[in-house]
A and B are shown apart, each in its own frame.
Chain A
Amino acid sequence: MKSLAEIDSRLEALIAQPPDCTDADEMLALGEDVLKHWVIARGKEPTKERREGFRLLALHRQGADKEPSFNACRETCRELVYHYNLLTLQPGHPQSSQHAAMMAWVARHLLLFIEGKMETEKLGDFCCASRPLRENVDEEISAQ
């Protein structure tokens, strides 16, 4: 599994390249790696299951367990799968270069979202609650 920094630099390289149909598998795998980081950070073993034929969607569902705010990246994951399907089911499509470029940008958005979420998690639930922080403070006050 690639580190988040490695995923970032690989996506930068793909965007600059620019990517084509043959990069679809790699971009999907990079998206899966991003989600694995989130799942592992939450103390779980990344699932090997598939949902609607994609491990990426199963990983997203696992990541959203007891964390509804994680659904903020649900559509981003689904867009990644959508573009993967466009590229692999219609590799000769006249717009395939554009589809590949979009897939790379979408994968990058998933990376940025999860990186940001991991960085700021101690500030609270994403979208913009401070609940965990507040609960900790409440517990400390109760203990005093």
Chain B
Amino acid sequence: MSDRDVKSKKDKYAEVAYYPGCALEGSGHAYNRSTKALGKALGLKIKEVENWNCCGAMEVKNIDPKLQTYLSSRVMSIAANTMKMDVVMAPCNGCYHNLKKAEYDLANDKESVDVVDRLSKKAGHETYQAGQVETIHALDWVKQTIGEEGLKERVKNSLKGIKIANYYGCMYVRPRHIFPEKDAGPGSESTSKPHFMDDLLEAAGAENVEFPLKTACCGGAHTLSDSDTSTRLVSNILQTAEAAGAEVIATECPTCHSGLEMHQIRAEKVLGIKTNVKIIYFTQLLGMALGLKPRKVGLQENISNSFDLVKEKGLA
């Protein structure tokens, strides 16, 4: 990536349309709170997408993929045509993935274009055209606007001494063809070994451990239909993180985060496997590194209680 690209993204991402998605208003509220608090502390501007709707999640996508494309396109249409924004930032991997998938389908599949046009007209809003906005993840947002050097300058409470395993989950990188900006040479994100979260937390002083299950399946899709599968997979992720020396698993997706938290408890009850690793959103960790109080970044809203740890590390 050239210096010019970096500068242009820095400017372009400084003000974004914010698409929290359903999870951030419920089980992932701590992520919503901490993303907003972090943005404010970094001087970045967000404007929430007006009257946003569900991205289609996994449920709609499995029943009717074209309807999911439409639902995601409506969010992008509002951002582009009503709010006149160029960039949509989605902190949730599921929302981010679905908007990127819709973008890909609308650029490459005539049938999707026709369905989206028909449903948009029926719903009474402008049809989204591929390329009108760029969808980015919260990791891109911080990485490209502030970057590692910018973070280092702003850190007040270093994360020094905290050993972290970074867990990205699957939808941040799969399938690769919907993320054309990834694997695009130096400076870009990798789909096989993602590193943006590692880079940012390291800049804030954390010690990242070698964690081989960064994008491994957590069985999230089977949380309800086959909880035991999810519990076993999550338990293995937690145990591997501990074996790698981690005290904290950093997350960047509300579904991954809740899955890890809930199955950590269930693994102890059902499988008798107890793990002590704490699960904290990367936005919470960066927020605390910038001097925000734990409650300001919603640490009390996590199920995984990490107050003792952050106190011990001098962050509270």
Contacts and interface: CB of A to CB of B under 8 A. Distances in A.
- A and B associate in one complex: yes
Interface of A: 68, 71-73, 75-76, 78-79, 82-83, 98, 101-102, 105-106, 108-109, 112-113, 115-116, 119-120, 123-131, 134
B213 interface: yes
Chain B interface size band reads 20 to 34
Contact of B213 (A76, A123, A130): A76
B213 A128 contact: no
Given A72-B170, A98-B210, A109-B233, A123 B217 contact: no
A131 B214 CA distance: 28
Contact of A120 (B61, B170, B225, B236): B225
Given A109-B213, A112-B236, A68 B243 contact: no
24 contacts: A73-B217, A79-B212, A79-B213, A82-B212, A98-B210, A102-B210, A105-B213, A106-B212, A108-B236, A109-B236, A109-B240, A116-B219, A116-B233, A119-B226, A123-B225, A125-B62, A126-B221, A127-B58, A127-B170, A128-B62, A128-B225, A129-B58, A129-B61, A130-B62
A73 B236 CA distance: 14
B244 A102 contact: yes
Contacts of B8: none
A68 B175 CA distance: 9
A113 B58 CA distance: 19
A128 B58 contact: yes
A91 B175 CA distance: 34
A123 B221 CA distance: 11
Given A109-B237, A113-B217, A116-B222, A102 B229 contact: no
Interface in B222-266: 222, 225-226, 229, 232-233, 236-237, 239-240, 243-244
Contact of B233 (A112, A125, A130, A131): A112
B28 to A, nearest CB: 18
B216 interface: yes
Contacts of B213: 76, 79, 105-106, 109
B215 interface: yes
Given A127-B58, A128-B62, A102 B222 contact: no
Given A72-B174, A102-B210, A113-B233, A128 B215 contact: no
